Amino acid sequence: VPASVSSGICSSQSECGVDQCCLETFNTDMALVSCAPLAEPGAPCSDRKEGTDSYKGRCPCKKGYDCVDGTCASTS
């Protein structure tokens, strides 16, 4: 099993690339958990900071940005 997966199914953060999160999304009645890109500035985001479990619905922001009121914003 590879140390990180650039795309595809995941069960924890450690299985995704540097600029990705392990994201759980719902398609009708099925949950899909896969590596997804981190949120860009202005995009909806998750503000969860700790843990290795998959994120629900939204990834955290890319490095250099913070999740403010559910949207990625510049830290400067």
What are the residue ranges spanned by the domains of the chain?
A: 13-74
Highest-pLDDT range among 2-16, 30-44, 46-60: 30-44
pLDDT band at 2 (very low <50, low <70, confident <90, very high): very low
Lowest pLDDT segment from 1-5, 14-18, 48-52, 67-71: 1-5
Q: Using one digit for the tens of pLDDT, what is the confidence trace for 20-37?
A: 999 998 878 888 899 999
The class that CATH gives domain 13-74 is mainly beta
The strand ranges marked E within 1-76 are 20-27, 30-37, 55-56, 65-68, 71-74
**Residue 21: partners with Cβ closer than 8 Å, 6 or more residues away:** 13, 35, 36, 38, 46, 54, 55, 59, 60
Residue 5 has pLDDT above 50, yes or no: no
Query: pTM of the entire structure?
Result: 0.79
